[in-house]
Structure 1
Amino acid sequence: MKIQHFDYIVIGGGSGGYAAARTARETLKRVAIIDNADQLGGLCILRGCMPSKTLIYSAEVLHLAQQDKAFGLNIPQATVDMAALHQRKLKIIQEFSDYRQEQLQSDRFTLFRNRARFINSRTIQLDDGTRLSADHFMVATGSVVSVPPISGLDNAPFWTSDDVLDLDFKPEKVIVLGGGIVACELAQFMRRIGSEVIQIQRSPHILKEVSPSAAAVIEQKFRNEGIQLYTGTTLKSVQYRDGNFSVSFEHESRLLTVNAPHLLNALGRRPATDGLGLTAAGISTLPSGHINCNTMQQTSNPRVYASGDVAGPHEIVHVAILQGETAARHATARAAERVDYDSLCGVVFTDPQIGAVGLSENQLKERGIEYLVADYPFDDHGKSILMEAKYGYVKVFADRSGVVLGAECVGKDAGELIHAMAVAVTLKANVRDLLKVHWYHPTLSEIWSYPLEDIFDELA
């Protein structure tokens, strides 16, 4: 059988894969992309970032309208139109998807709509029997929903995030399993469109990816909005009978059972490596299932690289893009810098939002770094008070010389506000320099000046 040879082959056409293919194509002529999805575009565009944030923003507008009296307004009957909401989301996603498909199907790449598996260290075979070889490969196959070993869960017709993002009706009542970012964002979305929501988290706090103080703000807001939130639980069993789910769990030494017609399994995702033939290619994985990579995203097979959810350590689209670009530059013998995870920015799109950048307080303590810290609450800040956005705070960490090491923001538009400190962390700015900035009054951004001033006073 004749084997087609390419300079570079990418398995997976999502954000990380496309970034690698695009970067490789800058210097290489024969670049192939293999993707067997029904629709091209990847998780972020089709079933992740863009559809979820479209729905979440609509729910935020609805929630504001329903708080009309707090703003001295009278907005009668602010309700959701799920059919219209669904169609708006589809229209927006189609625009993003069309552009990505146009790029992937351009004559710059050879596109195979198929599944691939390694049969040796430098050859893959497609489901139709076609064999391809390459000088270098990129594995960017993403992740899939994980089903933990909870009695009855694997056989239950639960929803995944895909199902929630595709809803065209308002669920009466939903049980949400999990307290991670996806679970929390979708739990609040469903609550705000009018669903009764019961959320069950195994850890002591939701959002273990953020600080306990940040998680506590969101927990308070969720409960105030009517989400029945249980934390520190042990899930025992899931039963589905006659169109109804029953979930049993231990909470505060009591065995509880809750019921609802719908169940969202948001207990996490795992790397999508099934059927890839990693062993045949000499590619090792970590205990988590992620592909083991060095700082250049190179696997234990030096011909093969990996990026995005399949590689970790963060399931964030801009990390996948950076990893893909780094890997392609390294494979094509160009100058490549490793991804600097110490300056990464992260956002949780709950309301209030959470934004964080740089080193967290826990990381600073673990590394034994001496630091100064100051914070300021939104409930004492002029602009947030007049916006009725009083939940949360901002916090800044700096070293003993005043260089900003990290920051955290929990509050209105935190995902936008955190980028002021993202610039500071990336450029290793000093609080003295940041206090030269004209922080305009009254703005939300102005709140950063207060912890910066407190740290400056400690330096002085």
Structure 2
Amino acid sequence: MSTHYDFLVIGGGSGGYAAARTAREHTESVAIVDGAETLGGLCILRGCMPSKTLIYSAEVLHLAQHGKQFGLDIPSAKVDMAALHERKLRTIAEFADYRQEQLASDRFTLYRNKAKFTGEREVTLDDGTVLTADKILVATGSTVNFPPVPGLDEVPVWTSDDVLDLDFLPESVIVLGGGIVACELAQFLHRAGSKITQIQRSPHILKEVSVEAAKVVEQAFRDEGIELITDTALKQIEKTADGVRVTFEHEGETVVREAKYLFNALGRKPNTASLDIEAAGLETRKSGHLVTNENQQTTNPHIYAAGDVAGPHEIVHIAIMQGEVAAKHAFGQTVEPVNYDTLLGVVFTDPQIGHVGLSETEMEKRGIEFVTADYPFDDHGKSILMEAKYGYVKTWAEKSTGKLLAAECVSKDASELIHSTAVGVSLGATLEQLLKVHWYHPTLSEIWSYPLEDCLDLISEG
């Protein structure tokens, strides 16, 4: 015997909940399966919300410790990790409680179990319950990646989950990796008071952004006192009497670093291992993401995927958009696929990085003729008075039409500043239209007017 639903969601995070909510507009027969210990998903429980809560507190601490730059006499400022931890728990509890209420409401049938596929439209739960559905959405997110580094599986190691749950200040930490999570949490730990060594395999950190942007953050890290070592090859990780030892190659030499704790931030991978996807005829890409088309359908047309498990961009708002597309398509609606040409991405280091639109490499690949211009924050009034001089803004515009194609911001509060250009890119606004905006002085935002004007001049000059 089995229970049948019109729409079944595996995973109650941002993408899964968005899909279930959308499906509920078309039918009452919607079920959600989520076997996590606590409902809410990665973003709320172990990702965006806890990390940004901690990062913001560390920024306040950093500013207080540098009060003399602002003509302030602040005798002492230090972290209280126990209090910081409690504030984080209170903050995310508000979001988690709301999500749990929504998932457990009578709008959905909620199964607090783990599931695996046992047929093309069938899943079996860990208590033996069998569920079938006309359409199924996989939104199981991602999990920490443990690459084959000699010794990594033989020593005590932290993941981002552990760092986000700290209630004490570690004296020293070696951070493996240079991705977004690695960089954001390395800087948080450093500002809280830990001695940080960050080891990155590639020549630059943050492969998700331009090399130009990554270099600004690298300089800021080193200026703050983080020992950032790039272009390395990990050779061995060992346990010591006091912690861990990491041996790696750098610039032709063997280098050794020791610390009390080791933080594995070498990326995440799609969470599909326990799903038995072969039983449903689902295929994956080399990255491990489930193969999906523009409607989020997998290689089994009755099964959809959204969020980190699907890719190509592991961002919360993308997961939500994908979930909504999947649910609408599942009920026969004509849908507009997610437009990745207007993709918005943010890195919450300090300085932050924001980028919207195509990369310059992609523009060149497509044969798009464009003009580009930039302007530095160390020559901008508001950023100077804020002692926020790292970084720049940069814009790209199509030469034939003057439309804004992309924008990049590396600065304090870049996550907020990038949205003004995101509106322009998404709506296909031209430089002339954007320059009609009242760019108020003195603000950080008015800096956009300079590269916009320069791009317009370049087009006018032919």
> Structure 2 length as normaliser, TM-score?
0.99
How many percent of aligned residue pairs carry the same amino acid? 67
Runs of 5+ in structure 2 lacking a partner?
none
Deviates more, 1:168-177 or 1:450-459: 450-459
Pairing 1:158-237 to 2, within 5 Å after superposition = 158-237=157-236
Question: Who is 2:435 aligned against?
Answer: 435
Size of the aligned set, in residue pairs, is 459
Runs ≥4 residues deviating over 4 A: none
Question: Who is 1:392 aligned against?
Answer: 391
For the 8 Å contact 1:359–1:406, the answer to whether it is kept is: yes
Question: Who is 1:382 aligned against?
Answer: 381
Question: Who is 1:403 aligned against?
Answer: 403
Query: Matches of 1:296 and 1:243 in 2, distance apart?
Result: 52
| 1:80-116 Cα distance to aligned partner (Å, 9 max, x none) | 1111100000000000000000000000000000010
Q: Which amino acid aligns with 1:264?
A: F
Query: Matches of 2:43 and 2:268 in 1, distance apart?
Result: 14
Query: Matches of 2:147 and 2:289 in 1, distance apart?
Result: 17
For the 8 Å contact 2:243–2:259, the answer to whether it is kept is: yes
Aligned-residue CA RMSD in angstroms? 0.7
Question: Who is 1:51 aligned against?
Answer: 50
Pairing 1:330-369 to 2, within 5 Å after superposition = 330-369=329-368
Query: Matches of 1:209 and 1:365 in 2, distance apart?
Result: 18
Deviation at 1:318, TM superposition (A): 0.4
- The answer to whether structure 1 residue 31 and structure 2 residue 48 are counterparts is no
Q: Which amino acid aligns with 1:432?
A: E
Query: Matches of 1:243 and 1:287 in 2, distance apart?
Result: 39
Q: Which amino acid aligns with 1:24?
A: A
Query: Matches of 2:242 and 2:24 in 1, distance apart?
Result: 51
Query: Matches of 1:81 and 1:218 in 2, distance apart?
Result: 26
| 1:62-82 Cα distance to aligned partner (Å, 9 max, x none) | 000011110000011111111
Query: Matches of 2:33 and 2:186 in 1, distance apart?
Result: 34
Is the partner of 1:436 in helix, strand or coil? coil
Query: Matches of 1:241 and 1:258 in 2, distance apart?
Result: 11
Deviation at 1:241, TM superposition (A): 2.8
Question: Who is 2:417 aligned against?
Answer: 417
Query: Matches of 1:36 and 1:399 in 2, distance apart?
Result: 48
- The answer to whether structure 1 residue 143 and structure 2 residue 178 are counterparts is no
Deviation at 1:212, TM superposition (A): 0.4
Query: Matches of 1:150 and 1:380 in 2, distance apart?
Result: 44
Q: Which amino acid aligns with 1:440?
A: Y
Query: Matches of 2:302 and 2:452 in 1, distance apart?
Result: 47
Runs of 5+ in structure 1 lacking a partner?
none
Query: Matches of 2:366 and 2:84 in 1, distance apart?
Result: 46
Query: Matches of 2:49 and 2:219 in 1, distance apart?
Result: 27
Deviation at 1:242, TM superposition (A): 2.3
Deviation at 1:189, TM superposition (A): 0.2
Question: Who is 1:74 aligned against?
Answer: 73
| 1:175-198 Cα distance to aligned partner (Å, 9 max, x none) | 000000000000000000110000
Is the partner of 2:353 in helix, strand or coil? strand
For the 8 Å contact 2:290–2:309, the answer to whether it is kept is: yes
Pairing 1:180-329 to 2, within 5 Å after superposition = 180-329=179-328
Query: Matches of 1:379 and 1:72 in 2, distance apart?
Result: 19
Query: Matches of 1:380 and 1:372 in 2, distance apart?
Result: 22
Q: Which amino acid aligns with 1:213?
A: E
Query: Matches of 2:202 and 2:457 in 1, distance apart?
Result: 38
Deviation at 1:412, TM superposition (A): 1.1
| 1:193-251 Cα distance to aligned partner (Å, 9 max, x none) | 11000000000100010000000000000000000010000011111132410000000
Question: Who is 1:457 aligned against?
Answer: 457
Question: Who is 1:116 aligned against?
Answer: 115
For the 8 Å contact 1:360–1:407, the answer to whether it is kept is: no
> Structure 1 length as normaliser, TM-score?
0.99
